[in-house]
């Protein structure tokens, strides 16, 4: 019966989750707001406040509002970077999986490989070994 209770804890669609805590690695899905600006995402909003322009996501894929000038300045200096996704990313989002503690991965690799599946236009598999001929 122990396997039945463990199976009950597994999600129906792990690729739709934004975080995985099933092992000690602790993975999160992250999105790149600068890519939203670059591609002119229709869900990116902007407003003026406190003498600055602030941007955010209308679909709440990420839940922070960022100073547009600082994002653009950081892109010139090597990239703004990613923010944690708080809900399933849209197919047009630039999304990646960020592992917090890579050194904790077991010898068999990821215990939840479906979590690493990304939106449709991105590959939904990872090559982690090659067999020699």
What are the angstrom distances between the C-alpha of 84 and each of 66, 88, 104, 107, 116? 13, 11, 21, 27, 15
| Structural domain boundaries, residue 91 | 28-104
Residue 106 banded pLDDT, cuts 50, 70, 90: confident
Q: How many domains does the chain have?
A: 1
DSSP helix/strand/coil, 75: helix
Given a contact cutoff of 8 angstroms between Cβ atoms, the answer to whether 115 and 20 are in contact is yes
* pLDDT value of position 65: 96
Given a contact cutoff of 8 angstroms between Cβ atoms, the answer to whether 29 and 18 are in contact is yes
- Residue 116 within any structural domain of the chain: no
- Residue 123 within any structural domain of the chain: no
Q: Is the pTM of this model over 0.85?
A: no
Cα angle for residues 87, 122, 70 (degrees, 5° grid): 60
* pLDDT value of position 42: 94
- Residue 94 within any structural domain of the chain: yes
- Residue 126 within any structural domain of the chain: no
- Residue 38 within any structural domain of the chain: yes
- Residue 35 within any structural domain of the chain: yes
- DSSP alpha helix (H) spans, 9-114: 33-39, 68-76
* pLDDT tens-place string over residues 21-71: 888 888 999 999 999 999 999 999 999 999 999 999 999 999 999 999 999
* pLDDT value of position 118: 63
* pLDDT tens-place string over residues 108-117: 777 777 777 7
Rg for the chain (alpha carbons), in Å?
18
- Residue 54 within any structural domain of the chain: yes
Percentage of the chain with pLDDT > 70?
79
How far apart, in whole angstroms, are the C-alpha atoms of residue 116 and residue 79?
23
Query: How many Cα atoms sit within 13 Å of 35 on the Cβ side?
Result: 14
Average pLDDT, the chain: 82
- Residue 92 within any structural domain of the chain: yes
């Amino acid at each position: 019966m122990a396997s039945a209770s463990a199976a009950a804890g597994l999600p129906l669609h792990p690729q739709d989750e934004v975080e995985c805590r099933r092992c000690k690695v602790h993975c999160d899905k992250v999105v790149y707001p600068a890519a939203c600006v670059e591609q002119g995402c229709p869900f990116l909003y902007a407003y003026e406040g406190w003498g600055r322009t602030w941007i955010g996501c209308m679909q709440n894929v990420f839940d922070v509002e960022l100073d547009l000038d600082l994002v653009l300045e950081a892109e010139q200096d090597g990239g703004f970077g990613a923010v944690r996704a708080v809900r399933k990313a849209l197919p047009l989002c630039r999304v990646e999986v960020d592992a917090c503690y890579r050194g904790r991965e077991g010898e068999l690799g990821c215990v939840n490989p479906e979590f690493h599946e990304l939106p449709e236009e991105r590959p939904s598999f990872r090559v982690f070994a090659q067999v020699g001929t």
